[in-house]
Amino acid sequence: MTQMITLHFGLNETSGLAQWREIIKLQLRAFLNRKASYRWLHWLNADPLGHALVKLNPRLLVKIYRPYLSNRLSCRQRLAVLQAHYRFIARQGWGGLMLRASQAPVLLGQVEGKSGLRYGIEITANAPLEREGELVLRLVQGSDLIYSSAFTFFGEGAQMNLAIGCMQGPQGKAALDLIRAATRDLHGLRPVNLMVRLLSDLGHAHGCRKLLLVSNANLANHRAACKGKIFADYDALWREMGAQTRADGDYQLDCEVLTPPDLSRIASKKRSEARKRFDTLRALADSLAGALAHVLPIGVGCLGSTGIGEPSTTPTPFQPFLAANLTFASASEKPPMGLHSPLGTSFHSPASPSSLD
């Protein structure tokens, strides 16, 4: 029988007082957001991809309770964002890729710099930028990480967008040297521009209308930014790229297909480098598109014989209880007495409207 995902799933990684502290925090957050919690746990147990991912990364379970992608989102909104993202991933047939990327970076394509060094585009899921997006696109050269961009497919009504929650360069004393060397080797193509244009092209190719860009004020890890631990000026970067300010304080660009530069507007002595920059960008975008078009579906060679990713076909005694309490239509409704939910506790009182956001 498939393992049931409960609110306390994965807490065995801690012990003693630390474990009790986490249990109390989770119980309180779940109690204050009961409707969202029921829906989230129901989805994690019913959806094959969600069930497999939370087994690989138990921290996925608590994402709806912490700032995620943009700190303006409520618990209910974070739930909607995550469910829309994974539904989109399933429609694209990328479930198997998500599972593999949750375990190790997956190389999607490579291009050769003018020095002969090869630069790769990798994708990972969750860690280490798990608060900033569900997927991380990475530019690497050998064992060196040049740039990372965390993103999530973000639903607004019937329209899908691609939201960027973090742009991060390399760490350490050699960080600036790595960026400069990569820029020279890629014919003057800055890694940050490379990542944004690749994601814009990716979004356009898969029906996304806008590229949503987090602002300084809305960073998910806003506390670190306030303490001076985040040095990037997102607002200046997005304005430099011509992004428009949104009503929620973030920025946006259109998701656009890559187009070659207008060489007539470029000085003749610089046209060769401009052409090579675009050819490099186009080659990486084509590699990315080709790799995503040929990923394996869930359960086809992506996790060996672990059984992860297989849907649960056995109804659990919790499912009728969950289904009956998703709407909370009446304040007098109560779950069956003594029946325990996947939250790990019994609820004998209904959720009040004020506690559902």
| Predicted local confidence at residue 297, as pLDDT | 64
Comparing CA positions, the residue from 178, 252, 184 lying closest to residue 213 is 252
The parts of the chain modelled with pLDDT lower than 50 are 300-357
Cβ(255)–Cβ(211) below 8 Å: yes
What's the predicted TM-score (pTM) here?
0.81
Domains of the chain: which residue ranges? 11-93+300-355, 98-293
Cβ(119)–Cβ(111) below 8 Å: yes
| Predicted local confidence at residue 230, as pLDDT | 63
CATH number of 98-293: 3.40.630
| Predicted local confidence at residue 12, as pLDDT | 64
Cβ(238)–Cβ(213) below 8 Å: yes
For the residues of 115-160, what is the DSSP string, one character each? TS-EEEEEEEESTTSTTT-SEEEEEEETTEEEEEEEEEEEEETTEE
> Which residues are registered as beta bridge partners of 252?
212, 244
| Predicted local confidence at residue 32, as pLDDT | 92
Q: Across the chain, what does the average pLDDT equal?
A: 81
| Predicted local confidence at residue 330, as pLDDT | 31
